[in-house]
Amino acid sequence: MFPPIREELRGLEPYGAPQLDVPVQLNTNENPYGPSEACVADIAASVAEAARGLHRYPDREHVALRTALADYLARDTPHGIAVEQVWAANGSNEVMLQLLQAFGGPGRSALSFAPTYSMYPEYARDTSTTWVQGRREGDFSLDLQAAAALVREHRPSVVLLPSPNNPTGTALPPEAVTVLCEAAASSEPQGLVVVDEAYGEFRREGVPSALELLPVHRNLVVTRTMSKAFAAAGLRLGYLAADPAICDAIRVVRLPYHLSAVTQAAALAALRHAPELLGKVDELRGERDRTVSWLREQGLQVADSDANFALFGTFADRHAVWQDLLERGVLVREVGPAGWLRVSIGTPAEMAAFRQALSDVLVREEGQP
Ligand SMILES: *Cc1c(COP(=O)(O)O)cnc(C)c1O
């Protein structure tokens, strides 16, 4: 057999949405707005400066970047965030893989509640961590009693929960975080609860960030990314906030100099432009709410969304709808429970194209026997 790949990986396809070159790409929850010329110039100048020192390894502890990230996070919690509580890596995917490398492994388990982000079972598989999957309710919320009971039964080392959830858009209420942190803390060794706030900045008015709960639960980890609200998916920068002892444990498994000098310089420059890069978030939230209402007016089911996408359906043949939209130049994502499709929120022009294309497809569907 060649190549002599691990038994459990044999025949598997790599994760990833189709990258198709179509006019309206609404399939990977990117921010549709790019950086301004001023921001581009600042990033370029910072990277040029970093280039002068490329014969040296970068700051392994990326202290300047962690300090800037801590300052940025402090706006979402009255308790503040210290630099020792922050850790960054190449995308929040790498942050979560590092968490599983440090806290999962053979004889340990990780748990989430489906439907959810399909990378989680891959982190578990790649670190030989047993994967346990609970279920969400029909409205994609969690039954807290059942969820806590599942945690007490399996004693997972890591519970992974996106808030808002991908692909449903569902935010976790603070009491859910508390119930799960308490259930995970009741085993020995304690389990960690990772709240993945990749879409945190898009949450609706009045929905708090789990960052507020960090002083209460030592086993809580909140992850964030610059890929979505921050409009920097190409940068590959994700980070977490947690107890400093959790950051110290990750330090043991991280590769030396995992964050390049170029990445650190570009991320620092992008953070200096945070107000601009985040400026479009409010517009996107408005566009999201209008998209959800419009889909409901078409008689479709739509999950309540605190993110920059909407899950809608249900279709007897969702693949046919996906294909018909693609033929009209609109790429959405075929993901989530059977019958549902997910659309990322784009610019007003992109959403108009999406509405037009979907209207055409729905009329055609109705015309069929
Ligand atoms: C997009 C996304 C991420 C972000 O991944 P990066 O590696 O930071 O680009 C993390 N979690 C969820 C649930 C996501 O949808």
From the CA of 225, how far away is ligand 1's center (Å)?
7
With beta carbons less than 8 A apart as the criterion, state whether 109 and 129 touch.
yes
Burial class (CB in 10 A: 0-12, 13-18, 19+), 5: exposed
pLDDT recorded at residue 367: 65
Kindly tell me if the per-residue pLDDT of 16 is higher than 90: no
Output the residue whose Cα is nearest ligand 1's atom 6.
91
From the CA of 97, how far away is ligand 1's center (Å)?
12
Output the residue whose Cα is nearest ligand 1's atom 3.
198
pLDDT recorded at residue 368: 60
Q: To test ligand 1's pocket by mutation, which of 31, 113, 122, 166 has the most ligand atoms within 8 angstroms of CB? A: 166
Q: What are the chain's domains? A: 7-33+280-367 (3.90.1150.10), 37-273 (3.40.640.10)
Ligand 1 atom nearest the C-alpha of 90 is 7
Rounded to an integer, the average pLDDT of 224-234 is 96
From the CA of 138, how far away is ligand 1's center (Å)?
24
Ligand 1 atom nearest the C-alpha of 162 is 13
Residues 6+ apart with CB under 8 A from 245: none
Q: How far is CA 257 from CA 59, 128, 240, in A?
A: 7, 25, 17
% of the chain residues with pLDDT over 90:
94
Q: What one-letter code names the amino acid at 170?
A: T
Output the residue whose Cα is nearest ligand 1's atom 15.
166
Query: pLDDT per residue over 104-132, tens digit each?
Result: 999 999 999 999 999 999 999 999 999 99
H-run or E-run covering 265: helix 261-272
The predicted model scores a pTM of 0.96
- Structure-token pair, residue 307: 């993110």
Measuring CA to CA, which residue among 184, 214, 210, 206 is closest to residue 197? 210
From the CA of 164, how far away is ligand 1's center (Å)?
11
**What rounded mean pLDDT belongs to the chain?**
96
Task: Give the pocket of ligand 1 (CB within 6 Å).
Answer: 29, 91-93, 117, 162, 166, 196, 198, 225, 227-228, 233, 238
With beta carbons less than 8 A apart as the criterion, state whether 202 and 281 touch.
yes
With beta carbons less than 8 A apart as the criterion, state whether 280 and 231 touch.
yes
Residues 6+ apart with CB under 8 A from 365: 315, 321
- Structure-token pair, residue 264: 């650190």
From the CA of 166, how far away is ligand 1's center (Å)?
9
Output the residue whose Cα is nearest ligand 1's atom 10.
198
Output the residue whose Cα is nearest ligand 1's atom 11.
198
From the CA of 92, how far away is ligand 1's center (Å)?
6
From the CA of 110, how far away is ligand 1's center (Å)?
18
Query: pLDDT per residue over 31-74, tens digit each?
Result: 999 999 999 999 999 999 999 999 999 999 999 999 999 999 99
Query: pLDDT per residue over 268-327, tens digit each?
Result: 999 999 999 888 999 999 999 999 999 999 999 999 999 999 999 999 999 999 999 999
CA angle, 325 then 166 then 339, to 5° = 45
% of the chain residues with pLDDT over 70:
99
C-alpha dihedral, 318 to 324 to 325 to 326, nearest 10°? 110
Rounded to an integer, the average pLDDT of 146-165 is 98
